Amino acid sequence: MSAKEEFIEIYRENIASIVSIRGSKGDGMSLGTGVVMSADGYIITNAHVVEGSSRVDVVFSDDARRKALLVGMDEDMDLAVLKVEARDLPVAEFGDSAALRVGDTAYAIGNPLGEELRGTMTDGIISAIDRTVTVDGKDMTLVQTTAALNSGNSGGALVNAGGQ
């Protein structure tokens, strides 16, 4: 399979499990990305996308919009779990981050700069593993990638060459 065909296949296999997250915050809105983790409506995103929101909505690739309930959040890990009322959602295949190697191919799928660019895919490599950075006074250990990421990609998928 050519590199171009691989890109197309990775996108095709994953786009239906990538969602937009809209968090209503007072007089504004927080926009991000999420990943469907179960067919019955559990979705994972970053905590900072939904933190402080009075309402959270999820928009699916077919433009269906559902109100989400915040099930749980870990601010230190910057992870949040949402639940929407749904059945038979397309689920992302999760990989094992312990199996990552520097130099592995990485594809980011999300909503850079908001919903106008929804469903954007960029590619790169895993450029570092267990990279410790300080964000808002909190130390976080992260995977670093050269795939282009922007505000709005938060909570989105970083996919390996196997589609996980």
Query: What are the residue numbers of the active site?
Result: 48, 78, 154
Whole-angstrom CA distances from 43 to 131, 136, 142, 158, 164 are 25, 25, 20, 15, 16
Q: In sequence order, what are the residues at sequence separation of 6 or more whose Cβ sits closer than 8 angstroms to the Cβ of residue 39?
A: 87, 88, 89, 90, 91
Q: In sequence order, what are the residues at sequence separation of 6 or more whose Cβ sits closer than 8 angstroms to the Cβ of residue 14?
A: 92, 107, 109, 157, 159, 163
- Position 43, amino acid: I
Determine contact, residues 40/69, Cβ cutoff 8 Å.
Answer: no
